Chain A
Amino acid sequence: MSRRAQENIVALALIGMFIAVIVASMDYSFRARMVPLPMAVLGCILAVIQLAWQNLRPVDELQLDMFEFITGRTAEEEPAAVQAIIEQKPEPTPDAPERTALREFMAVGVVALLLALFFLIGPVPATFVFTTGYLIMTGKHGLARSLLYSGTLTLILAVMFGYVLQVQLDRSLLLPPLAPLIGF
């Protein structure tokens, strides 16, 4: 999917969100919707303009050249050393994988996995299991080192949050039903 198509989908999603807020606001009293409703209307109008602009006009027309704003000079008027730094982009390391939609979905999957573990087995076990598994899967750390790092991290977090901040960390969906089976 092209970048423009993706941007259009995002703009349409925003328009949908603002319209939903406008519809929901109609149920509230005048004072309750005094600020949210105009903001939603303004946001909707801006999103429609953005959708039109990104398909009809160059996007950089609405982008401020901050360097020119601060210095009063354009990049072309600067010495070569400064032009080079303005144009410089951080280079990825040679063995970095290509950025693809699959990697983006995997990133979402990683977060979703940790979220699921958090609810299923609780924060502390999830920390240990997730960190150990992640480090082993990268292939750059052996089992022993992964267990050491994970164990240390889990202990530090348990002490910091459980003992220092007195946070209840013994929450999970699976462990209470399983506790009688494993002798607790």
Chain B
Amino acid sequence: MLDAMVAGLHALLTPQSIVFLMIGVVYGLIIGILPGLGGIVAMALLLPFTYGYEPAATLALLLGAHIATIWGDSVTSILFNVPGAAKSLSLVFDGYPMTQKGQARRALGASAGAALLGGIIGAVFLALSIPLVRPLILALGPSEYLMMALWGLTVIATFSEGSLLKGLIAACAGVIIAFIGMDPITATPRYTFGSIFLLDGISFPVAMIGLFAIAEMMKLWVKGDSIVSRALQAETSSVLDGVRDAFRHWGLVFRSSVLGLWIGVLPGVGATVGGIAAYAMAVNTSKHPERFGKGSVEGVIAPDATLGANEGGGLLPTLAFGIPGGESMAILLIAFIGLGIVPGPTMLTDHLDIVFSLVWIIVLASIVTTVIGIAISPYLARMPNLDHTIMIPIVLTVCFIAAYATRGVEGDVIVAAAFGLLGYLMDRYKYSRANLVIGMVLAEMIERSLHLSLSLYGDFFIFTRPVTFAMFVFIVLTTAWPFVRSWRRKRQQALAMDGGAR
């Protein structure tokens, strides 16, 4: 284990990895500061650039960009009252009032400091949990992995925005889309309708670019927001004041980080509601709750620490079980597959050094993001406006060229555009895009595990293998339990109201 930790760090200390990490962080900060784009878009656009390089450098680029977008998203929430991404919505409520009081630098410093501490706590958690999870992973067989994949799909559907039914429908659609192309087991062309282009299937990176980047640009066009302006205030604070605040409220940072870890580990639980829950926890535990909503630094620290720790938690099911915790983890999985690395048991046995490289990347990217963030915060605090109009043509053209560059096939550009339209419609009618993506990623695992289970254990393997059966029951319970609890609570409230009326 110690050897793997050292090897993981050693792999990152090459010039290529360091340069890629820096590029990823700077790129992520820029994407994060632009409202409407988030970590998922940043990573989707980077995928074509990841082929042919060392695994550690590739992962440094992708994960570094993703971690940097977390703080970048906070910047627009704090400075312009416009959430950089949905998950930074909670920062608007106290971050912007701080800016209005001339404490923008302090808010940005606190945000950077909290994100750093949260990121480090998340990385430590990931490093500590690997030796605990490893024996469990090695004991699982194909039938257990099948149940794990199905559990991932149902849990994500349960926790996704929109209804459970819509989430499951999106997951089923994602699984079917993944089967377009040549079946590797039976060499049967499936759902190709005679098209040679579709024999190779739908490229994941191209689908991601369409679903998230192109769809977001279509949303931005429809929304039509243009330049966001603000009146500059005389600054009465410094960035270091905010960083000191983050360290001074270490208890709040720790509690918020633990919340972020838990949310990250559970597949499908969005960071958006995590940020709000962290804010609620800060209000309920603060000595001065009346200050919240009027520019309390605790209202900035809590959500940022949660978002920072979320990454470490989200990597655990992704690396250990091959079940992505969200869209960004799905992209990371695709990158792994492109690098010839399969998450799961082999990840924790043959590629443990890469796992620890990821841990170190989270730490280093958090530090680099904070250092750069602190350095540029004084200048960001003086930004008078933000121009949305310039984003759409830039991102769209990059998307199309990136889609073409993935395989050098013109048809991929049409696929990207089609998925862009699909992503827009899914967002419009509240069918979870995350579920579709995760269905696409888990489809191969489901099919492979099912074939192996039937071959090894027979047709009734669900009932003959106790662990598999227990996991099957667990799937049913975890899918139904939140609704049962909600139904019981509503029934209690209705009974209480009836009792009060009498």
A: which residues have CB within 8 A of B? 6-7, 10, 14, 17-18, 21, 24-25, 28-29, 31-32, 34-36, 39-40, 42-43, 46-47, 49-50, 53, 59-60, 62-71, 73-74, 78-82, 84-86, 88, 90, 92-93, 95-97, 99, 103-104, 106-108, 110-112, 114-115, 118-119, 123, 126-127, 130-131, 134-135, 138, 140-141, 149-150, 153, 157, 160-161, 164-165, 167-169, 171
- Interface majority SS on B: helix, strand, loop or mixed? helix
Which of these, B89, B225, B402, B421, contacts A111 with CB under 8 Å? Answer: B421
> What's the nearest-Cβ distance from chain A to residue B491, in Å?
13
Residue of B281, B398, B451 with most partner-chain A CB within 10 A: B398
Residue of A34, A39, A73 with most partner-chain B CB within 10 A: A39
Q: Is B408 an interface residue (CB 8 A)?
A: yes
Query: With contacts A35-B175, A127-B397 known, is A24 near B191, CB below 8 A?
Result: yes
A106 touches B221 (CB 8 A): yes
Chain A residue at minimum C-beta to C-beta distance from B185: A31
List the B side residues contacting A34 at CB < 8 Å.
447, 450-451
List the B side residues contacting A67 at CB < 8 Å.
273, 276-277, 280
B: which residues have CB within 8 A of A? 48-49, 82-83, 89-90, 92-93, 158-159, 162-166, 168-169, 172-173, 175-176, 179, 183, 185-186, 188, 190-191, 214, 217-219, 221-228, 259, 263, 269-270, 273-274, 276-277, 279-281, 283-284, 289, 292-293, 387, 389-390, 392-394, 396-398, 400-402, 404-405, 408, 410, 413-414, 417, 420-421, 424-425, 429, 431, 443, 446-447, 450-451, 482-483, 486, 489
Interchain residue pairs A-B with the least CB separation, the first 8:
A43-B172, A62-B163, A81-B292, A66-B273, A32-B188, A97-B224, A131-B393, A134-B393
A-B contacts, 7 of them at CB < 8 A, read A14-B169, A31-B185, A35-B443, A70-B269, A104-B222, A115-B400, A157-B401
Other contacts beyond A46-B165, A134-B392: 18, CB < 8 A: A28-B183, A32-B183, A34-B447, A35-B179, A39-B172, A39-B175, A42-B168, A49-B165, A50-B166, A67-B276, A84-B293, A99-B223, A107-B219, A110-B392, A111-B218, A119-B413, A123-B404, A140-B387
Query: With contacts A50-B163, A62-B164 known, is A114 near B226, CB below 8 A?
Result: no
> What's the nearest-Cβ distance from chain A to residue B412, in Å?
11
A103 touches B429 (CB 8 A): no
B172 touches A64 (CB 8 A): no
> What's the nearest-Cβ distance from chain B to residue A12, in Å?
12
Query: With contacts A68-B486, A92-B223, A140-B226 known, is A21 near B191, CB below 8 A?
Result: yes
List the A side residues contacting B394 at CB < 8 Å.
131, 153
A119 touches B410 (CB 8 A): yes
> What's the nearest-Cβ distance from chain A to residue B385, in Å?
11
> What's the nearest-Cβ distance from chain A to residue B198, in Å?
12
Q: A153 CA to B410 CA in the complex, in Å?
A: 21
List the A side residues contacting B280 at CB < 8 Å.
67, 71, 73, 78, 82
List the A side residues contacting B413 at CB < 8 Å.
115, 118-119
List the A side residues contacting B223 at CB < 8 Å.
92, 96, 99
Query: With contacts A34-B451, A64-B486, A115-B417 known, is A43 near B284, CB below 8 A?
Result: no
> What's the nearest-Cβ distance from chain A to residue B309, in Å?
14
Which of these, B164, B168, B176, B396, contacts A21 with CB under 8 Å? Answer: B176
List the B side residues contacting A53 at CB < 8 Å.
163, 165
B408 touches A168 (CB 8 A): yes
List the A side residues contacting B447 at CB < 8 Å.
34-35
Query: With contacts A43-B169, A115-B417 known, is A32 near B397, CB below 8 A?
Result: no
Chain B residue at minimum C-beta to C-beta distance from A115: B417
Chain B residue at minimum C-beta to C-beta distance from A154: B397
List the A side residues contacting B269 at CB < 8 Å.
66, 70
Chain A residue at minimum C-beta to C-beta distance from B429: A10
A63 touches B163 (CB 8 A): yes
List the B side residues contacting A108 at CB < 8 Å.
218, 421
Query: With contacts A7-B429, A85-B93, A106-B221 known, is A123 near B401, CB below 8 A?
Result: yes
